[in-house]
Amino acid sequence: MSPELKAAINVAARAAAEAAVKRTMLTMGVDITTARGVRDTQQDMSFLRRLRLVTDSRNAKLIVIVFSTVMAILGAGATTLIQQYLGK
């Protein structure tokens, strides 16, 4: 295959890939043809990332609170049982 043919194939493949990406992004409602569209998309992704991190953080705190509460209840129950068993 000649270098000219390889170059022509690469140009055609790149153009087809760019068109497919633009069409796919527009189908998903993302306009990447303007700087404003790219910036808006980046801000949306940043918001979603922050929302996920906050949600993960809240879930972790909730798990710690529930675990601590259960352990405190079990500890209180065990202490009560031991006191009753020892006759205090």
| pTM score of the predicted model | 0.49
Quick: pLDDT tens for 11-68.
999 999 999 998 998 888 888 888 998 899 899 999 999 888 888 888 888 888 999 9
Q: What is the DSSP string of 18-81?
A: HHHHHHHHHHTT---SSHHHHHHHHHHHHHHHHHHHHHHHHHHHHHHHHHHHHHHHHHHHHHHH
Check whether 88 has a pLDDT greater than 80. Answer: no
Check whether 85 has a pLDDT greater than 90. Answer: no
pLDDT for residue 55: 84
Give how far the C-alpha of residue 4 lies from the chain's centroid of Cα atoms, to the nearest Å.
Answer: 44
How far does the chain reach from its first CA to its final CA, in angstroms? 95
